[in-house]
Amino acid sequence: MGFGNKNPKAKSEITMSKNYELFTDLFEKIMYVSRKCLECAESGDFEKITFLVEQRDKLINIMETIHERLTLEQMNMDSNIAIEFNNQVNELIEKMNQMDEQILIKLNEERDNMQIEIAKSFKNKENFRGYNLNCLK
């Protein structure tokens, strides 16, 4: 009488299931942080965006490690399961890419607005510098 399942295929499926669950949990956290980045970009809180992007990068690195494990585990799995998993991963990546695109659009808009403000400030400074009170007629 032994405890546990001695079937290596079943054990592999359980491990893959746990890793897939971890993978999807990490993805949800990344999407949450991405939404927070977008909110901060819209509100102009750029210091917080920097922190959030660093945290998001760490989560992505962890997710990549889990994905590598899942890829190795798939080699022992039924090919239909592997194809389904890869399709789901591709869908998740597409969602992440869409969120990234929204963040980049907002950040580019803010960058452009900042450049306009800097140009206006520079021009006003130059105009003010040219005004000399000692040369009044």
d(CA 19, CA 68): 10
pLDDT in tens, the chain (137 residues): 444 445 555 555 666 678 888 888 999 999 999 999 989 988 888 889 989 999 999 999 998 888 888 877 777 766 777 778 778 888 888 988 998 899 899 889 988 998 999 988 888 877 776 665 565 55
Measured CA angle at 81 (ends 80, 87), to 5 deg: 90
The predicted pLDDT at position 112 comes to 92
Contacts of 26 (CB under 8 A, 6+ apart): 59, 62, 63, 66
- The pLDDT, as a whole number, for residue 7 is 52
* Residue 9, pLDDT score: 54
pTM check: above 0.75: no
CB under 8 Å, gap of 24 or more: what pairs does 60-67 form?
60/30, 62/26, 63/23, 63/26, 63/27, 63/30, 66/19, 66/22, 66/23, 66/26, 67/23
